[in-house]
Amino acid sequence: MGSVEKKSRTTLSRIFLKYVLVMLGGLMILGTALVMVFHLLVNMNCIYPANYAERSIEAVGDTLKNADTVTEDMIPPLCHYAVFSVNGDLMDGNMPGDTLSIAWNAAVHGTASGKYFYKVIRRQDEYVVLQYSLKPQYRSDYMRAHLADPQTMLTVIAAMGAVLIILLPSIQFGKKMKEKIQSIMYAAEQIKGQNLDYEVSYCGVKEIDDCLLSIDDMRAALKVSLEQQWKTEQDKNRQMSALAHDIKTPLTIVRGNTELLAETELTEEQARYAGYIKNSALQIQNYVQTLIEVTKSMEGDSAKFEIVKIESLLHEIKEQTMGLAEVYHLNIDWNVQSGIPSICLCYEQAIRAVMNIIRNAAEHTPSGGRISVAVRKQNNKLIFIIEDTGSGFTKEALKYGTEQFFMDDTSRTGSGHYGIGLYSAKMIAEKHGGAVELSNSEAAGGARVKISFKC
């Protein structure tokens, strides 16, 4: 298991409770502050209290009732008034016209509707109706004319403050939880990247730490499982390789004795049987070579990369290519771009990958045919292009030719090598940051294989 950096632990419920308490505390502080500010403004005579008009009306009630004539200067602040005759005629007042009917109804029936309150003072032969509201009001006429009433203003300020009090702790809570969850994200990314030796660091939250512990246990179990699987695969590959090499010895004896037998005097039937044995032995030999190639491609991860001079790499490939040309009676065209620098790769694997492609081309090119090998550097990649004058790839081979154990029945000649050679070359190229591309050559008329290695 990875090393663990221990921290003081808490729980998600505690973090959430702290978040809720911070919001509630902020809301309480906001409410208390607004109430204190309101009372301070009232005490400083900047704002009339909500019942100011009602108290003022009570104070001047007798004056209005006994006065000879009711005038506007007798009306308390924050009030509108209307003077009605007993017949309902408006005699005087400054009350808004749309509320006069409500005021008359209050005078006659004692009931009223709407947002205002009404006080009726009965005088001789007339009614005085005072209209007022139970809301705090600014003492300044200018502020009453241009601003919302204090109650509405305090409500808006309270709403905005509440939004900020909820929003700011929520953002902080989200950031904190994101920081805590980063430990899980980091562990998941490391496992995704196949790094099973990373160091685990607890974040201090019990639930997240428990999750990290489970992930770390899974990582450790996965590492053990992969190591065991890798060892098993290595053992199996070594056994397969050893078996393949062991088979080559008796197979060589069978083939050699068959060739010696063919040199003796045989009947036509015996010669035919000897030919069957020889061809079958050759086919088995190719299958054994295929098995060896597969085991080598599976063991390629242990190969070491090193800086290789291009001249040395190309010299080795050219020597082996010319040897194949002698065996298969082929002509070789060699076209190398000059000035290619050194490259970091696995020397033996790179040679094997290129030679697998050239060998496949040789096996599928008729005697006297031609193979062209072009080498160049393009887009930070070392590229080999091998073309031959053989029959080329079928549509199925173009699609599946680089898959393991693929063999195209329409072009099978007994060697059965196409799939394994190209599969092995593809695996090596991909480990070097390159690829293998199959196509048919319009110029040569046969197959065209492009293999690249990242410089």
Give per-residue pLDDT as tens, 365-388.
Answer: 999 999 999 999 988 899 999 999
| pLDDT at residue 29 is higher than 90 | yes
Q: How many domains does the chain have?
A: 4
Q: Do 79 and 220 fall into the same domain? A: no
Q: Do 153 and 22 fall into the same domain? A: yes
Q: Do 285 and 310 fall into the same domain? A: no
Task: Say which DSSP state 198 is in.
Answer: P
Distance of CA 136 to the CA centre of its chain: 56
Q: Do 315 and 434 fall into the same domain? A: yes
Q: Which of the listed residues 242, 271, 299 is the one where a domain comes to its end? A: 299
Task: Say which DSSP state 390 is in.
Answer: S
Give per-residue pLDDT as tens, 161-208.
Answer: 999 999 998 998 888 888 888 888 888 888 887 788 877 777 888 888
Q: Do 332 and 368 fall into the same domain? A: yes
Q: Which of the listed residues 299, 334, 367 is the one where a domain comes to its end? A: 299
> Quick check: is 143 in a domain?
no
- Beta-carbon count within 10 A of 320 CB: 16
> Quick check: is 71 in a domain?
yes
| pLDDT at residue 389 is higher than 90 | yes
Looking only at Cα atoms, what is the longest distance across the chain?
160
Q: Which of the listed residues 236, 267, 299 is the one where a domain comes to its end? A: 299
Q: Do 110 and 180 fall into the same domain? A: no
Q: Do 279 and 378 fall into the same domain? A: no
> Quick check: is 140 in a domain?
no
> Quick check: is 199 in a domain?
no
Residue 130 belongs to a domain with what CATH number? 3.40.1840
CA distance 372 to 384: 10
| pLDDT at residue 5 is higher than 70 | no
What's the full length of the chain, in residues?
Answer: 455
Q: Do 30 and 63 fall into the same domain? A: no
Q: Do 235 and 322 fall into the same domain? A: no
Q: Do 58 and 24 fall into the same domain? A: no
| Res 3: pLDDT | 44
> Quick check: is 142 in a domain?
no
Give per-residue pLDDT as tens, 101-158.
Answer: 999 999 888 888 888 999 999 988 899 999 998 889 888 888 888 888 888 888 899 9
- pTM for the predicted model, two decimal places: 0.46
Q: What angle do CA 440, 441, 442 make, to 5 degrees?
A: 115
Q: Do 91 and 223 fall into the same domain? A: no
| Res 144: pLDDT | 82
Give per-residue pLDDT as tens, 55-80.
Answer: 988 888 888 888 888 888 899 888 99
Structure tokens that stand for 149 in this block: 């009433």
| Containing structural domain, residue 105 | 51-134
> Quick check: is 323 in a domain?
yes
Nearest residue to 5 (alpha-carbon basis) of 300, 213, 303, 231: 213
Give per-residue pLDDT as tens, 326-361.
Answer: 888 999 999 998 888 788 888 888 998 998 899 889
* Rounded mean pLDDT, 2-30: 79
> Quick check: is 358 in a domain?
yes
Q: Do 247 and 130 fall into the same domain? A: no
| Res 342: pLDDT | 85
Highest mean pLDDT among 45-49, 189-193, 302-306: 45-49
Give per-residue pLDDT as tens, 393-435.
Answer: 888 888 888 887 676 655 433 344 445 678 888 988 998 999 9
Q: Which residue has the tokens 């490391």?
A: 190
List CB contacts of 311: < 8 A, sequence separation 6 or more: none
> Quick check: is 341 in a domain?
yes
Residue 224 belongs to a domain with what CATH number? 1.10.287
Q: Which residue has the higher pLDDT, 3 or 313?
A: 313
* Rounded mean pLDDT, 295-299: 64
CA distance 128 to 104: 10
Cβ 340 vs Cβ 421: under 8 Å:
no
Residue 313 belongs to a domain with what CATH number? 3.30.565.10
